[in-house]
Amino acid sequence: MPEQKPQERIHNFSEVPLGYPPEVAVEEAKRCLQCKNRPCVKGCPVEIDIPDFIKKIAEEDFDEAVKILKSKTSLPAVCGRVCPYENQCERKCTLLKIGEPVAIGHLERFLAGWEREKGVKTPETPESTGSRVAVVGSGPAGLTCAGDLAKMGHSVTVFEALHEPGGVLMYGIPEFRLPKEIVEAEVEYIK
């Protein structure tokens, strides 16, 4: 993945990795073997349908790839940056046996960035269940829980003790690793 040059980054706190341009993401996605037993999905804690979203990237159908990704995660821009994918989904990639695994985390980050540039689509609101749910804390677990509950049609209220929602995402991870604007955008999407 392209990165800021060391001579530049010593003068700022901006994110070091710059992300994939579309053509690089497509080439990386084409490396996926589309394994029948889907070991990468077994390595993902939220069981994202990794082969399917990667296939859509390879076909340059980024809209559909985003839909597949967001069907399982409400925080793709965060996960594409700070999830330990090299120890989870990428460690299970069949290509690791002969070389480098597919860069699943980088592809997830690419999709989240692509969607942000094109304009995040508001998800369809499911029919209300009439249930009201309170989530205490707006860290990664609280935000994920709130997002999943909202997708099910529940009315969700999130309570947070600090000034800004995001928990460790906002207050514990440095800007060069996870920019605050990314966290703010993900929180806004969940709202």
In this prediction the pTM is 0.88
Q: How far apart are CA 46 and CA 84, in angstroms?
A: 13
Q: How far apart are CA 32 and CA 104, in angstroms?
A: 9
Q: Which two tokens stand for residue 97?
A: 């046996």
Q: How far apart are CA 30 and CA 101, in angstroms?
A: 12
What is the CATH classification number for the domain harbouring 69? Answer: 1.10.1060.10
| Residue 87 and residue 144 in one domain | no
- Please, which pLDDT band fits residue 126 given cuts at 50, 70 and 90? confident
Q: Which two tokens stand for residue 60?
A: 């340059």
Which residue from 64, 62, 67, 109 is spatially nearest to 85, judged by alpha carbons? 109
| Residue 109 and residue 149 in one domain | no
pLDDT for the residue numbered 122: 67
Which residue from 79, 73, 80, 82 is spatially nearest to 175, judged by alpha carbons? 82
Cβ neighbours of residue 170 under 8 Å, at least 6 residues apart?
A: 162, 164, 180, 183
| Residue 85 and residue 52 in one domain | yes
For residue 90, the enclosing domain spans 6-118
Q: What integer is the mean pLDDT of 108-129?
A: 86
Q: Is residue 127 part of a domain?
A: no
| Residue 106 and residue 77 in one domain | yes
| Residue 136 and residue 169 in one domain | yes
Using the 3D structure, point to which of 118, 143, 163 is the last residue of a domain.
Answer: 118
Using the 3D structure, point to which of 118, 153, 173 is the last residue of a domain.
Answer: 118
Total structural domains in the chain?
2
| Residue 42 and residue 136 in one domain | no
| Residue 186 and residue 114 in one domain | no
Which residue from 116, 43, 46, 105 is spatially nearest to 80, judged by alpha carbons? 105
Q: Is residue 53 part of a domain?
A: yes
Cβ neighbours of residue 66 under 8 Å, at least 6 residues apart?
A: 76, 111, 112, 114, 115, 121
Cβ neighbours of residue 139 under 8 Å, at least 6 residues apart?
A: 166, 167, 168, 169
Q: Is residue 126 part of a domain?
A: no
pLDDT tens readout for residues 27-85: 999 999 999 999 999 999 999 999 999 999 999 999 999 999 999 998 999 999 999 99
| Residue 54 and residue 86 in one domain | yes
Which residue from 50, 49, 74 is spatially nearest to 149, judged by alpha carbons? 74
